[in-house]
Chains A and B, each alone.
Chain A
Amino acid sequence: MSSVLEVANLRVGFSNGTLAVRGVSLKVERGETHCLVGESGFGKSVSALALMNLLARGATRSADVLRFQDFDLAKMSERHMAQLRGDKLAMIFQEPMTSLNPAYTIGSQMAEVLRRHRKVSRAQALERAAGLLSRVGITAPGMRLAQYPHQLSGGLRQRVMIAMALMCDPELLIADEPTTALDVTVQAQILRLLQTLQRELGLALLLITHDLGIVARMAQRVSVMYAGEVVESATAEALFANPTHPYTRGLLDCIPIPGKSRRDAPLGSIPGVVPRIRPGFTGCGFRDRCAHAMPECAQAVPRQSAGGDHDYLCRLPPGWSRAQAA
């Protein structure tokens, strides 16, 4: 069976010369969660926006493959794209306030999403909205539907965004940091809801998150991004058991765990500053911060296999980190 989403060599540049995405490839299967993690400012959201054709004006996008189901997104007209968006292909944005209109009530915005794509009455649409609000753990949905975005807490807004994205039963949901404003008990409920939709409706989920706890518990597959590239891609088990790119290893070392971290010592972080990636940049984007860098890292980097479908973008041999630990 073919994947719900297939992306090969996606590239995005901005008019100021920034190359935000430099050849991202990934696939999301039906009913599966694919997590996208990586350093802040390195093109995760821009990749997602590129898939939705929602990039800022002046940005350029190219790709060898950009396929959703049987649709070639690269060639699709904006009119057709607008029909897909919010329907079969939904997205939860990182900033809830940028996608909620402050001038309209929650109810009218949610109903509008359904009515744009389905022939239903306003009352039916509001009923569906209320039902979804309860499923994301919002009590008194009637009151919430009548409120404006500024009257909701950050976490309520985020849950409204999640419910809104589910209005049309999407086939693919791109969720950009969907639970950052939620406490851990509500977060667990939302993640269980998404898993239920995956089981029952085969929802495919492309989940962008900084939270490696979520990655470990939700993902079948993980892609790690650094400087606009996927530097490592593997199943969740393989990635946590055998992180091979030095950036991935550094990332795993930074996770604070309650009851285990030492308060008097600083938290682990990856030292050094992030390079500015301009056209013509070659070699490994991580080399300035990497403890294992060698002169050859300034040249094109090979993509290597660490076994199975676990691959990474680095010159170090597959078992280097285990050999080092031994």
Chain B
Amino acid sequence: MTTAIEVRGLRRLFRGRAGMFGAERVVRAVDGVSFSLPAGDVLGIVGESGCGKSTLGRLIMGLLPASEGDVLVDGRRLATMDRRERARLIQPVFQDPFSSLNPRHRVGEIVGLPLAAQGDVPSAQRRDRVMEMLARVGLAPEMAERLPAQLSGGQRQRVAIARALVLRPRMVLCDEPTSALDVSVQAQILNLLAELRHELGLTYLFISHNLAVVEHIATEVAVMYLGRFVEHAPVDALFHEPRHPYTRALLASVLTPDPGLGIPDVGLGESYPDPANIPTGCRFHPRCPIAVARCSSESPEGRTRDGRLVECLLDGAPAEMALSA
């Protein structure tokens, strides 16, 4: 089994200010992420909003320079490749379909742009591949003439997917690719992504807030919290035996379609983490329902059990007294 992508100790800082004249604050958006993924697999990345998922994706795409660390695709450092080569290896589908589509270009041009940028695909062939791709993502041929503003949210996201797949890349980075879609269209797109993966041997990095979608499409799942992977496991293990307390809180917050059950409160409290002020010890401890005293001083970083990353000091430990009753 070949490794499609390897990420080593990736970090990215952002500098900002607290208030107009406040002190400088350093946001550690991605704070030491390492993983490797076999070709043909799908890594689902889930986690709190603002925890650094999209930043990680942009680092992997080479759209943003890393403060530290390396990304290797097919064993070669991404940082050493030129744009055209990178584009053939890895393509993105972003979260916000509106701002990622040029409002002045027609759908046909948008989808054809990656082909045109390669510079070696004749224009007649380009048009055929664009039309074929539009059909594959379920857009009628006349949509090629429309502008993004004339499409619904879901239609725009299909355009973004068509654009990402038109070059037949090795890897696709999907950042919330179906969050703008209704369940039926979402199912069509996920089925399409799964089909193309088998057909073309694609590898996906799949960022999503929808746990059911991740469970369906991913082969492994990483749970991210404040810039780090706090749990990383094969998909079945993660859903059937979640070990990190944050993972368990996520799973407990899923809204199943049961009228009358109300909105769950999983007891994480409302003291949200501040990425410019990462807690000592375990970064999750101030909100953790099972934290004990040593969680505020000892770091669980890099902790594994049974070959599975679980950055929790209490994973596998006998029950201890909780921090606060």
Contacts and interface: CB of A to CB of B under 8 A. Distances in A.
B47 interface: yes
Nearest to A40: B154
Contacts of A83: none
Contacts of B149: 56
Interface in B234-260: 235, 239-240, 249-251, 253-260
B265 interface: yes
B45 to A, nearest CB: 11
Interface in A261-307: 261, 263, 266-270, 273, 276
B259 A237 contact: yes
Contact of B211 (A97, A139, A250, A258): A258
B220 to A, nearest CB: 13
A38 to B, nearest CB: 7
Contacts of A158: 49
A235 B268 CA distance: 31
A97 B96 contact: yes
Contacts of A217: 255, 258-259, 261-263
Interface string A16-55: 1000000000000000000001111110010000000000
B14 interface: yes
Interface in A52-98: 56, 94-98
A182 B49 contact: yes
A39 B185 contact: yes
Nearest to B50: A153
B200 interface: no
A96 B22 contact: no
Contacts of B22: 142-143, 146
A153 B54 contact: yes
B274 interface: yes
Most buried by B among A14, A185, A187, A268: A185
Nearest to A105: B20
A210 interface: yes
Contacts of B99: 95, 97-98
B31 to A, nearest CB: 15
A192 B274 contact: no
A184 B250 contact: yes
Contacts of B273: 139
Q: Nearest 9 CB-CB pairs, A to B?
A: A155-B49, A40-B154, A213-B255, A41-B152, A269-B187, A267-B187, A256-B212, A184-B253, A180-B179
Interface of B: 14, 16-20, 22, 25, 46-50, 54-55, 95-96, 98-99, 138, 140, 149-155, 176, 179-188, 190-191, 194, 209, 211-213, 215-216, 235, 239-240, 249-251, 253-266, 268, 270-274, 276-277
Interface of A: 14, 16, 37-42, 45, 56, 94-98, 137-140, 142-143, 145-147, 151-156, 158-159, 177, 180-189, 191-192, 195, 210-219, 236-237, 240-241, 250-252, 254-259, 261, 263, 266-270, 273, 276
